[in-house]
Amino acid sequence: MRFDVVSIFPEALRGLLSVGVVGQAWDGGEIAIHFHDLRDFTDDAHRVVDDRPYGGGAGMLLKVEPFVRALEAIRPACGPRTTVVLLSAQGKLFGHADAVRYAQGDGLVLLCGRYEGVDERILAFVDEEISIGDFVLAGGEAAAAVVIEATARMLPGVVGKYESVATDSFYGEARLGAPQYTRPPLFRGLGVPDVLLSGDHARIEEFRAREAWKKTAKNRPSLLGLCGKGADEDG
């Protein structure tokens, strides 16, 4: 699968994406990641990519023209099932289902906003506008890294043991993953639940399922429709 990132800081992500399972998949050819400097698609000597917003207001906006030129340059190398995404605080919330859907395509082109955002006319040239959360970042580079890693993990061969993916939070059901423990069995008076040491796989699976739902009810009650309905209670 191919990923293209358009940014005014194209090298900001290289180190982050060069490590772990994503880095291994990149080295092994399971994925390809290409970075594009937005300034390379300007047509003036100073390589200007931003300007003041019409109607006034604080800050600067990224111009639409360089992004469109970048897309026109990138598209010939992309497969027919490539999705173009604008990363924006105003976008719909990115989730696990989106990562699964993106992984079924040929590639992703990720446009990274910055400053006060991008000229709204860019939406005529993209497929989706997404956000990774209800907060504002200085730019879309961190969000691009999140989307690439979440999507790459859904590709066959990227994660060594696919069972690891199948037990992730949000995989299959709208719930968090179960609590996990490793050695030592006792640390400063804190022990590992006896059932996990029992070797009884049926009981272990029951325990993990029960604890996953309890953790979801405690930390993310909205996933269960429990907001304001005793979400702090065990069960």
Determine, yes or no, domain membership for 210: yes
- How large a percentage of the chain has pLDDT more than 70? 89
139 lies in the same domain as 191 = no
**Among the listed residues 180, 171, 169, 181, the one whose alpha carbon sits nearest the alpha carbon of residue 219:** 169
Determine, yes or no, domain membership for 234: no
Q: What is the pLDDT of residues 178-197, one digit of tens each?
A: 899 989 999 999 899 999 99
122 lies in the same domain as 18 = yes
Are 122 and 67 within 8 A, CB to CB? Answer: yes
Distance between CA atoms of 215 and 166, rounded to whole angstroms? 18
30 lies in the same domain as 122 = yes
Determine, yes or no, domain membership for 211: yes
Q: What is the pLDDT of residues 3-47, one digit of tens each?
A: 999 999 998 899 999 999 999 999 999 999 999 999 999 999 999
141 lies in the same domain as 95 = yes
Residues in the chain with pLDDT < 50?
Answer: 167, 169-170, 228-235
Our count of domains for the chain comes to: 2
DSSP state of 138: S
CATH of residue 135: 3.40.1280.10
Determine, yes or no, domain membership for 231: no
User: What range does the domain containing 111 cover?
Assistant: 2-152
Per-residue three-class SS string for 191-215: ECCHHHHCCCHHHHHHHHHHHHHHH
pTM: 0.84
38 lies in the same domain as 81 = yes
Determine, yes or no, domain membership for 144: yes
